[in-house]
Structure 1
Amino acid sequence: MLTCRLCGSPSLADVADLGATPPCEKFLTGEQLDEPETNYPLHLRVCTECWLAQLPPLITPEETFTEYAYFSSYSTSWVEHAERFVAGAVQRLALDGDSFVVEVASNDGYLLQHVVRRGIRCLGVEPSENVGQAARDRAVPTRTAFLDEETAGQVRAHDGPADLVVANNVYAHIPDVLGFTRGLRGLVADDGWVSIEVQHLLTLIERTQYDTIYHEHFQYYTVASAQRALATGGLRVVDVELLPTHGGSIRLWARPDEVAGEPSERMLDVLAREKTAGLHELAGYAEFGRRIATVRRELLGFLVQAAGEGRTVVGYGAPGKGNTLLNHCGIRPDLLAYTVDRNPYKHGRFTPGTRIPVLAPERIAEDRPDYVLVLPWNLREELTEQLSYVGQWGGRLVFPIPRLEVVDPVRMEVAR
């Protein structure tokens, strides 16, 4: 019997059943195309006791993150976002040369490089050896490890407690939420701060961002469920910022219970919004499945019509969310000839499940397709600018979520 990983309740209600897919970052080499792939159910449920939305832990973090295909620095806007965060944190917390900052799941040093440049002592804790090496190559101190209580104790004993612990886009990626949370508490000083960024379940539901449901994301947070999760490790959320990243995220500021104080007014406002949206009861999830079906029908209808008219459609980007969308919609190379990505690690490989070739971005200008399906739709502003050249031959950009839009990248207007 499935039980909630946060509170242990067996009361799990359906939110979205997306069938079964391979892990979204398991890109295939050419030699693997004649080999079978393992598919896992992709079924989101919500606990009706603590309201944590979650997937069963069918894959382990070790399977996904020991060698990882995602390098944060290939997103210009994400690096700029990290730089703004560091500048704001330095000012907010009065960090200086005597401070110590730890980032968990620090990837290729995209964020801590800005800490290093300010002369602040720091350490990345990154489980993937390949991306961790990229961080070390840019002079960002990085320890290859998964965060748990033991790792936290080792870091604290060797480097001291952290004035700031950063955990961006990782709190959803760990099945042992209780152990990981105790690890966060073990890293942070008794008067320190923990900053966590994670996609907001409120915007995921409201904007039908169902493609962000994939096996690497074991849970999906509201502020209310994040409060309950962090409380298990002796951390209390005291402030929340709403962010546009990943289609709508929350930045949680938490402190050890003993020094936390009262929550901010903006945190209380977000909690009230979640309650009004019905996310503290089943009513708020009722229409999600219907809206998912609409996204699928619209995208497939467009691609089938384009193929029937002899139009060429290619993709831009090969993100994890794109692989959820491609697999759920059953899109194959007959409807999407290929996709491109800035990350050379993915070049010459094929998307998991759908087996669509991943090529270098220059291929788009060479082939001059009629349509470019933008899979990382959350980077819409950045990518519309980057892909403006597609309009030179009359090409159009296609954004599939929250509703299908065909955009003229020259006039910046919706063509359909």
Structure 2
Amino acid sequence: MQSDQRPSCRLCGASGLVSVVDLGASPPCESFLAEPELAAPELTLPLHVRLCTKCFLVQLPPLLDPVETFTEYAYFSSFSNSWLKHAETFVTTAVDRLGLTGSAFVVEVASNDGYLLRNVVERGLRCLGIEPSVNVGQAAREAGVPTLTAFLDPDTGAAVRREHGPADLVVANNVYAHIPDILGFTRGLRELVADDGWLSIEVQHLLTLVESTQYDTIYHEHFQYYTVATARRALETAGLAVVDVEKLPTHGGSIRLWARPEAVAGEASERMRAILAEEKAAGLHDSSGYEDFAARVENVRLDLLEFLVRARRRGETVVGYGAPGKGNTLLNHCGIRPDLLPYTVDRNPYKHGRYTPGTRIPIFAPERIAADRPDYVLVLPWNLRAELCAQLGYVADWGGRLVFPIPRLEIVTPDGEVD
């Protein structure tokens, strides 16, 4: 890995970060294009992941302003059935684990469209969502979930605490990677949580990202990528201590960090110590675990391109399923455009009639697949494999196949059998 003297680490301030993988340049992954925008220039930004060799935080430079990205947002959590079930299960287990009663107060940061807090509302607990995106926050309010439109920083956290009191539980699911100001955001979390309260953070685990070459989850909205060790270092900057970690299957492999104010934290759990040992053995507590990552990324790219070119030469049709942000990293890095993938579909009506950023592939409603009966369906949200195999079972009616590009290219029947 080559040293780069220009960037500095946003966690510890060290300079001389080293390259992990350079994915070239691509547009912001959620900047879906309306048809009139196709004639206009399009912003692209470098997508070059680096490693701090002092604190070992893996990170992208902060090229995007979250205010521009998240004020109007294309992602609505409630369009994934498995994600709704995941949120419901979390609330049930958290209420039991922490003994939350009717007087408890729960805050979720980056609460999206209320997909999680609606379960808190149903249990009669007091709650508040903090969501920066105006459009999805409004959807949450319409669903009966109290929601503040704001970005979390120390001032926002202090203001919420003054108005509503400290939170017994603060939830921050899939947001801790989206924050360029780690230190300020973490202080905001500490302002929210009660002195004897709990913080739960879910974030993709860098261990699975590296081991399974899940490089499509690298995009400009993800400013950093966490091991348990680096997440612990980040939280310690605001007096929060990680005491337990759970492994989760979400997003191809995530972790749920349970943290508390240091004064009440106590000893770390055995499973946290076990996961830290796994990370160390994989070389993620130094630089050795990243040395072949770029080569494995290139293999994923070549395998997918070879499949698409071969299908085109044979006159076979391949269309996409899903238009997730991660899919746009994959499509742009591979240079896949409508000649190889004429369209993709998505359940989110917000994206219908729009085009993928950079690659400009049109997005339609899912019904288009049954109408066209393609030979192959390339599944871009590969992490929802079980859910989408069930949803796409009808593809078997005409002998169609599903294609999963990551962690390695697999062609399967809709019942999940590998060809």
| TM-score by shorter chain over 0.5 | yes
Residue number among 179, 183, 192 corresponding to 2:184 in the alignment: 179
Residue 286 (structure 2) aligns with: 281
Residue 374 (structure 1) aligns with: 379
Letter paired with 2:184 = G
Residue 331 (structure 2) aligns with: 326
- 1:203-282 aligned at under 5 Å gives the runs 203-282=208-287
Measured in 2, the distance between the counterparts of 1:42 and 1:305 equals 28
Aligned-residue sequence identity (percent) comes to: 73
CA contact (8 A) 1:11 1:49 kept: no
Residue number among 130, 133, 144 corresponding to 1:128 in the alignment: 133
Residues 149-186 of structure 1, C-alpha deviation per residue, up to 9 Å, x if partnerless?
A: 01001100100000000000000000000000000000
The question of 1:408 aligning with 2:416 is answered no
Residue 76 (structure 1) aligns with: 81
Residues 94-114 of structure 1, C-alpha deviation per residue, up to 9 Å, x if partnerless?
A: 011100000000000000000
The structural deviation recorded for 1:332 is 0.2
The structural deviation recorded for 1:11 is 2.9
The question of 1:305 aligning with 2:310 is answered yes
The structural deviation recorded for 1:57 is 0.1
Residue number among 42, 45, 49 corresponding to 2:50 in the alignment: 45
Return the TM-score normalized by structure 2: 0.98
Contiguous gaps of at least 5 residues in structure 2: 1-5
Letter paired with 1:413 = E
Measured in 2, the distance between the counterparts of 1:282 and 1:227 equals 18
RMSD: 0.5
Residue number among 148, 163, 166 corresponding to 1:161 in the alignment: 166
Residues 40-65 of structure 1, C-alpha deviation per residue, up to 9 Å, x if partnerless?
A: 00000010100110000001101110
Measured in 1, the distance between the counterparts of 2:39 and 2:346 equals 23
Residue 148 (structure 1) aligns with: 153
The structure 1 segments of at least 4 consecutive aligned residues displaced by more than 3 Å after TM superposition are none
Residues 13-41 of structure 1, C-alpha deviation per residue, up to 9 Å, x if partnerless?
A: 11110000000000000000000001000
The structural deviation recorded for 1:68 is 0.2
Q: Secondary structure of 1:401's partner?
A: coil
Measured in 2, the distance between the counterparts of 1:46 and 1:320 equals 23
CA contact (8 A) 1:20 1:39 kept: yes
Residue 36 (structure 1) aligns with: 41
Residues 299-318 of structure 1, C-alpha deviation per residue, up to 9 Å, x if partnerless?
A: 00000000111111100000
The structural deviation recorded for 1:242 is 0.3
Return the TM-score normalized by structure 1: 0.99
Residues 55-92 of structure 1, C-alpha deviation per residue, up to 9 Å, x if partnerless?
A: 00001101110000000000000010000000000000
Residue number among 60, 66, 70 corresponding to 1:65 in the alignment: 70
The structural deviation recorded for 1:295 is 0.3
Q: Secondary structure of 1:33's partner?
A: helix
Residue 342 (structure 1) aligns with: 347
Letter paired with 2:199 = V
Residue number among 90, 105, 118 corresponding to 1:113 in the alignment: 118
CA contact (8 A) 1:351 1:358 kept: yes
Residue 3 (structure 2) aligns with: none
CA contact (8 A) 1:313 1:335 kept: yes
Number of equivalenced pairs: 414
The structural deviation recorded for 1:409 is 1.0
